[in-house]
């Protein structure tokens, strides 16, 4: 049940960030000084993952290039160890393979595309729009619960009721150890019909049986093959556990979210924080 692979859906068009994403993959937009996907890769590696399964599509080859060697740049940076390390670490810390999602048929479909690279083992799914900052890598906490129970595990976060229609929302009961038993879930419910205000955040650990569930899932909300629908069937048959978010979750799928995530990330460095604070005081006084 060890979890070594993380499927990262990265084929989306990034329409909420246009025109930034007209030619650039949204996964490579900057979080201060790093592409967003590299921050996700760091969390994966810190959680014990050794292989990223990038689910890409047309126009996303820069995502694959970012996790490839760059001999020309490397030779130019031979005498600059820090810069050189900043462009080689992506290939030394983790393996990356990519599969194509030929058509945008939904998150469930995207995860299903990863099957050919994952095979018959438990694996993680990380949504690159959800950046999570905290002391313990969020994915590691999920992997620990999966390794102890064998069940699917998802990250949960309490959201204001009026925001339930932005998320997959669960019906769950608390367990003694602070985790939750998930009985049901629904994708993007209005507050009137939401089973709770506990939303699914973009970190999941699944047994390989989720792939069969995805294959058996038809179009759901928005006419797409929804991961949430496949998860509902898995939860009912095999059980599913929810782990509450610890730390800060930031949505980088829109321009303001990107800016805030960049500032949050930059402010982890005390020197940068001091500069940022000075600049903000001047800008907003
Ligand atoms: C996706 C999932 C949803 C989840 C959300 C978390 O939605 O479908 O269940 O709550 O990510 O960010 P999206 O944001 O892609 O619409």
Residue 67 in contact with ligand 1 by CB distance below 6 A: no
* Contacts for 275 with CB less than 8 Å, ≥ 6 apart: none
Residue 199 in contact with ligand 1 by CB distance below 6 A: yes
Atom of ligand 1 minimally distant from the CA of 129: 12
Task: Describe the crossing of helices 255-266 and 36-46 by its angle, rounded to 10 degrees.
Answer: 60
Task: Give the pLDDT of residue 285.
Answer: 86
- Class of the CATH-defined domain 5-13+20-284: alpha beta
Query: What is the distance between the alpha carbons of residues 105 and 271, in angstroms, rounded to a whole number?
Result: 44
Q: Could you read off the pLDDT tens digit of each residue along the chain, which spans 285 residues? A: 789 999 999 999 899 999 999 999 999 999 999 999 999 999 999 999 999 999 999 999 999 999 999 999 999 999 999 999 999 999 999 999 999 999 989 999 999 999 999 999 999 999 999 999 999 999 999 999 999 999 999 999 999 999 999 999 999 999 999 999 999 999 999 999 999 999 999 999 999 999 999 999 988 878 889 999 999 999 999 999 999 999 999 999 999 999 999 999 999 999 999 999 999 999 998
Task: Give the pLDDT of residue 19.
Answer: 96
Residue 107 in contact with ligand 1 by CB distance below 6 A: yes
Residue 14 in contact with ligand 1 by CB distance below 6 A: no
Residue 187 in contact with ligand 1 by CB distance below 6 A: yes
User: How far is C-alpha 110 from the geometric centre of its chain's CA atoms?
Assistant: 13
Expressed in angstroms and rounded, the spacing between residue 149 Cα and the centre of ligand 1 is: 25
Residue 200 in contact with ligand 1 by CB distance below 6 A: yes
Task: Give the pLDDT of residue 239.
Answer: 97
Expressed in angstroms and rounded, the spacing between residue 271 Cα and the centre of ligand 1 is: 35
Give the count of beta carbons closer than 10 Å to the beta carbon of residue 71: 8
Residue 130 in contact with ligand 1 by CB distance below 6 A: yes
Task: Give the pLDDT of residue 34.
Answer: 95
Residue 40 in contact with ligand 1 by CB distance below 6 A: no
DSSP string, 184-239: EEEES--TTT-S-SEEEEEEEEE-TTHHHHHHT----GGGS--HHHHHHHHHHHH-
Residue nearest to atom 15 of ligand 1 (CA): 107
Whole-prediction pTM value?
0.96
């Amino acid at each position: 049940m060890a979890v070594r692979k993380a499927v990262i859906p990265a084929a989306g068009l990034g329409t909420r960030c246009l025109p930034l994403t007209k030619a650039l993959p949204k996964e490579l937009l900057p979080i201060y000084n790093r592409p967003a996907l590299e921050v996700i890769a760091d969390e994966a590696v810190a959680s014990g993952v050794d292989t990223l399964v990038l689910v890409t599509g047309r126009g996303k080859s820069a995502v694959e290039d970012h996790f490839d060697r760059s001999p020309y740049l490397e030779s130019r940076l031979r005498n600059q160890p820090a810069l050189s390390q900043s462009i080689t670490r992506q290939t030394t810390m983790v393996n990356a393979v990519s599969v194509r999602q030929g058509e945008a048929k939904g998150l469930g479909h995207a995860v299903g595309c990863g099957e050919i690279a994952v095979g018959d083992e438990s694996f993680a799914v990380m949504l690159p729009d959800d950046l999570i900052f905290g002391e313990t890598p969020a994915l590691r906490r999920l992997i620990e619960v999966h390794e102890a129970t064998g069940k699917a595990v998802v990250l949960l976060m309490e959201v204001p009721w009026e925001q339930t229609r932005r998320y997959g929302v669960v019906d769950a009961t608390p367990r003694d150890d602070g985790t939750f038993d998930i009985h049901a879930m629904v994708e993007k419910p209005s507050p009137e019909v939401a089973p709770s205000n506990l939303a699914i955040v973009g970190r999941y650990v699944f047994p390989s049986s989720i792939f069969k569930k995805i294959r058996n899932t038809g179009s759901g909300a928005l006419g797409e093959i929804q991961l949430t629908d496949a998860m509902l069937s898995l939860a009912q048959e095999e059980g599913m556990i929810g782990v509450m978010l610890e730390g800060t979750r930031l949505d980088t799928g829109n321009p303001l979210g990107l800016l805030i995530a960049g500032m949050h990330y930059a402010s982890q460095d005390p020197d940068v924080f001091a500069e940022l604070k000075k600049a903000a005081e001047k800008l907003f006084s």
